[in-house]
Amino acid sequence: MRHDNSTESQRVTAIRGLILYLGEKTEELIKDYQARDDRRRPQRPQQVWPVPYKRLDRRPDVDPYCQALFPFCPSGDPDGRMPVMRDSDLVSVFRLQTPVWEFRYGDVLGKFHIMHDAIGFGSAKTGRNFTMEWYELFQLGNCTFPHERAGVSAPFWCNQGAACFYDEIDDVHWKQNGSLEKIGEISGEMFNEMARWVQEDNETGVYYETWTVKSDAGANATTWFESYDCSQFVHRTYKKLLDMGADLSSQTPTSYTKIYLYSGEPLHLGDDSIFQQSSTRDLATDIKKFYHSFRSHQSVVEVIESLLEALEKMVLEKTFYFYYNSEYWKLPMKYPYIKINYEEIPLP
């Protein structure tokens, strides 16, 4: 112990002597050392908000575990192919909107402004009409929350969305509780170019995202994450048509359903490796416990209990575990926590 103290004393004396010899202030030397040390450390790229949606090189295969309650695009082409129009054709473009699951529940979800959007097309030369929409392969619940799968450590996601193109426009389906409005005309050549773009968009943008996450409900709020859903697909398509020179206009307000989460700046947690490392065992347990509240196939009593647990997590603990681009984020939730808006968004 005496030897250690002697060595330390000699070290301190040498450092003080060097400082005096150089004529430098201690504080300045420390600042210079810290600056050099910071430059040596790898710098994490500055976070961009909203986090850009990650596109893939190709659509991944569907795991057989993932099953839809209702089959995806039952009357459309299984590979999402679209007909080729004559370049000289005149094609009408229609804005379509109806309550989610209108075919099963009528206007029930429409009363809460939970709407589904699509686009219709009509060929002047052939008289044929078509509907194009983008929606979940395995219904909304599977795209919003994961499954608990035996033998799999991480939450298991059945989350894909895709474009569906099929013959006819079901006037009753769209008009009865929603809207069907002609918003413009394009040439057959423009339609064919749009169809090629849809194929590429459909192959690379595959993951459905229910939530839009913002810092608050004000006009100047920061958007942390954008949704990627049916209305976003419709807007991307409108923008593509306008970029090609189409003239689109609506005589009625173009309103869309947006489901918001409100939080402070999100904290990046990591990918599925969270559930495989001993150092993040507690975090992994907390994430799985959070998603357990939203598990499928619950009884009515279990659903009520689970909703209360979820509200406690979001409102009292102010925590929401959010999955985006195959990675997990922690959202420090803020009032009003969650909100469904039916808001006007003009044509691009």
Question: pLDDT tens, 163-181?
Answer: 999 999 999 999 988 999 9
What confidence tier does 303 reach under pLDDT thresholds 50, 70, 90?
low
Burial class (CB in 10 A: 0-12, 13-18, 19+), 173: middle
Q: Between residues 19 and 50, which one has the greater pLDDT?
A: 50
- Mark whether 116 is an active-site residue: yes
Residue pair 211/322 in contact (Cβ under 8 Å)? The answer is: yes
Mean pLDDT of the 179-196 span: 98
pLDDT at residue 220 tops 50: yes
Which tokens go with 336? 């009003």
* Residue whose C-alpha is closest to residue 179's, from 234, 241, 254: 254
Cis check for the bond before 146: say yes or no (omega within 30 of 0).
no
Cis before 74? omega within 30 = no
Q: What is the mean pLDDT of the chain?
A: 88
Q: For residue 162, what pLDDT is reported?
A: 95
Among 4, 201, 206, 173, smallest CA distance to 103 is for: 173
| Model confidence, pTM | 0.84
Q: How confident is the model at residue 2 (pLDDT cuts 50, 70, 90)?
A: very low
Q: How many CB atoms lie within 10 A of CB 148?
A: 12
Structure tokens at 231: 């209305």
Give the number of other Cβ atoms within 10 Å of residue 132's Cβ: 22
* H or E segment to which residue 165 belongs: strand 161-167
Quote the pLDDT of residue 103: 81
> Tokens in use for 219?
């006009």
Position 132, amino acid: M
**What integer pLDDT is reported at residue 78 of this predicted model?**
72
Specify which residues 260 forms β-bridges with: 212, 339
Q: What is the pLDDT of residues 63-111, one digit of tens each?
A: 999 998 889 999 998 777 899 999 999 999 999 999 998 888 888 989 8
Q: Is 197 helix (H, G, I), strand (E, B) or coil?
A: helix
Task: Select which of 116, 143, 158, 164 is catalytic.
Answer: 116
- Report phi then psi at 97, rounded to 5: -155, 140
Q: 142 near 159, Cβ under 8 Å? A: yes
Q: With a cut of 80, say whether residue 129 has pLDDT above it.
A: yes
Instruction: Give mean pLDDT, residues 36-63.
Output: 81
Residues in the chain: 348
Q: For 82, what's the count of Cα atoms within 13 Å in the CB-facing half-sphere?
A: 25
Tell me what the mean pLDDT of segment 218-239 comes to. 97
Residue 325's region, left for phi above 0, alpha for psi from -120 to 50, else beta, is left
> Angle at CA 298, nearest 5°, toward 293 and 304?
60
* pLDDT higher than 70, residue 8: no
> Do the beta carbons of residue 228 and residue 323 sit within 8 Å?
no
Give CA–CA dist 294/210, Å, rounded.
14
Helix (H, G, I), strand (E, B) or coil at 279: helix
Binned at pLDDT 50, 70 and 90, residue 331 comes out as very high
Of 134-148, 203-217, 231-245, 296-310, which gets the smallest average pLDDT? 296-310
Pick the closest to residue 299 from 291, 310, 307 (CA basis): 307
List, edge to edge, every strand of the sheet that includes 247-248.
Answer: 161-167, 129-136, 115-123, 90-99, 179-187, 247-248
Is there a contact between 153 and 275 (Cβ–Cβ < 8 Å)? yes
What is the arithmetic mean of pLDDT over 332-342? Answer: 95
Separation CA 72–CA 70 (nearest Å):
6
Query: Whose CA is closest to 232, among 253, 249, 213, 257?
Result: 257
Confidence of residue 211 (pLDDT cuts 50, 70, 90): very high
Q: Can 73 be counted among the known catalytic residues?
A: no
pLDDT at 112: 86
More confident residue, 3 or 49: 49
End-to-end CA gap in the chain: 76
Active-site residue identified among 143, 158, 164, 230:
230
Residue 1 pLDDT: 46
